Structure 1
């Protein structure tokens, strides 16, 4: 989920903690627990700072080790330990329990996005991505804001947030049902499909579609059960050539291939420069595919420059690469 949603979830969890008599018995413990749930709801996303280094490292590691099983166990110990050092009068066990719940809930809700997490590490590096909830879901965010407003105006936070989470649980079930219906519609539209990726959007009944058959890739949108295919690409294996092998050694391209399950490729030559481009088919926007990885190589197959990330125009991509073809 996005940062804003994680923040309101952390505050709401602090409200639910009012059900714990140990928490409410001391104002210091109450303060520490609310701080713990807010910080715990943010802690796993500390890997966002990797963006400051480069996109390749961020793409490869975001929602990786910081969302793993060891991290889910270590974050609460670290956060509650620091808070206990600041406020030694708090009940550490209950502070740890509520902080743990905040960290766990952060990682748990992230698996419902199409981005997913490596939540099963170290047992598996597989990305767990159920793809039913958009990174920012206005309904989930809105319910949290409503619950917080009711708490602010004097409503008991415990029944308020319990009711809210019961409604949100039903909402999740509905999202799974809609996703299943969309996949069935895709199978009817493309009978020979072998792979279907259905990703949510900010709108309840609209879904992004990327599908593959043995011979083609398909990109489209679902509006309820109505499927619209925008693009159809012939499916071709990327050449097993020295050029491609050299390009795939680049960190940006290798990060892209580790993250993207469905993409197409282009190889172009500009004078004495070779360009290898990989294009993720999941994120079509206004007739453009903005998530790409590009590498330029010279005639000796030395890498000149490369980039991976979100680019919404060729001009911006050229500026990122500091490259102007003649």
Structure 2
């Protein structure tokens, strides 16, 4: 999810920790836990430093090793122990490490519910896993946790009960969103006579509708599912190796294209002939919106099929849909 939401969840996890009488009785431990959950809630995204090595490196590594299966068990002591020492809470180092672990795990779980995906089962597999249930920013979760945090900040005497309620509702909300997703994808699978794995969906910001991509074999069908009705939008050809144009084949060795293929598996390629060469655009169909595909790798070639320039990334603002 977005950085602001992860940090907010760090605050509310610290509020939830006060349900433990030991945490509630020691201010230094409360401060240590708050620092641990705030930092732990953001720690997996420390891999954003890969932006310094360029967009291709960022695409390859973001939500990779730092979100992997062993990562929480490394982040927890690495962050929790020095935080406990810094706040004079060494006697409760185990508690601080535990809440750091919870914060890191909650971050990874929420990212798993998003459509971008995580490599959370590394080192056993480098497959990108995504449940496609939540947008990058979920207004309902943010509102609920934000309200709980504000009540705590202004001294509401029963804040601990509010935090328990909010996290209980969060679990119910995630389960409900997953159930709705399974129901909708089941209906789409029945309509198009396809296996569930050949259909991917993205939620809209408010969750009232879904956009989908169905793999029909030689092409992708895109559309919306709203109020029990399917609205088909477009069909796009699949980028099959045997059908690629020479210009598209010439870009396969470009760093950005290799990074793109490492991440994407619903791929459309478009070759445009220019006066002085070609523009080849590889697009991830999963993230289509209003006939556009904002996540892409674009390569410019000269007439001799030499790479002149390349770009990979999002061709949209962060506040524009799709919210992944």
TM-score by length of 1: 0.89
Contact 2:204-2:211 within 8 A present in 1 as well: yes
Give the whole-Å Cα distance in 2 for the aligned partners of 1:233 and 1:179: 24
Aligned to 1:71: 71
Deviation at 1:25, TM superposition (A): 3.0
Aligned to 2:6: 6
SS of the residue 1:47 aligns to: helix
Q: Deviations over 1:201-257 (max 9, x none)?
A: 212221121111123211111113211111112445244666444311111111111
Q: Deviations over 1:108-159 (max 9, x none)?
A: 1211111121111111111121111111110111110121123234133332
Unaligned runs of 5+ in 2: 318-324
Q: Deviations over 1:272-300 (max 9, x none)?
A: 42322112222233332222111122344
SS of the residue 1:185 aligns to: helix
Contact 1:272-1:298 within 8 A present in 2 as well: yes
SS of the residue 2:70 aligns to: helix
More moved, 284-293 vs 160-169: 284-293
Give the whole-Å Cα distance in 2 for the aligned partners of 1:185 and 1:222: 10
Give the whole-Å Cα distance in 1 for the aligned partners of 2:152 and 2:275: 65
Give the whole-Å Cα distance in 1 for the aligned partners of 2:237 and 2:64: 33
Give the whole-Å Cα distance in 2 for the aligned partners of 1:126 and 1:241: 28
More moved, 183-192 vs 133-142: 183-192
Deviation at 1:66, TM superposition (A): 0.8
Contact 2:31-2:87 within 8 A present in 1 as well: no
SS of the residue 1:264 aligns to: strand
Q: Deviations over 1:84-117 (max 9, x none)?
A: 3423443211111111111111111211111121
Contact 1:288-1:312 within 8 A present in 2 as well: no
Task: Assess, with a 3 A threshold, how the Cα gap between structure 1 residues 198 and 89 changes in structure 2: closer, same or farther.
Answer: closer
Structure-to-structure mapping, 1:28-47, within 5 angstroms = 28-47=28-47
Aligned to 2:240: 237
**What do you get for the CA RMSD once the two structures are aligned?**
2.1
Task: Assess, with a 3 A threshold, how the Cα gap between structure 1 residues 124 and 173 changes in structure 2: closer, same or farther.
Answer: same
1:224 counterpart = 2:219:
no
1:290 counterpart = 2:291:
no
Give the whole-Å Cα distance in 2 for the aligned partners of 1:251 and 1:130: 28
Aligned to 2:208: 205
Give the whole-Å Cα distance in 2 for the aligned partners of 1:24 and 1:155: 13
Give the whole-Å Cα distance in 2 for the aligned partners of 1:175 and 1:312: 26
Deviation at 1:189, TM superposition (A): 4.0
Q: Deviations over 1:21-44 (max 9, x none)?
A: 332232111111111111100111
Of 210, 213, 217, 1:214 maps to: 217
Give the whole-Å Cα distance in 2 for the aligned partners of 1:3 and 1:139: 16
Contact 1:208-1:282 within 8 A present in 2 as well: no
Give the whole-Å Cα distance in 2 for the aligned partners of 1:278 and 1:117: 21
Aligned to 1:174: 176
Structure 1 stretches of 4+ with a deviation exceeding 6 A read none
Number of residue equivalences: 313
Give the whole-Å Cα distance in 2 for the aligned partners of 1:105 and 1:234: 38
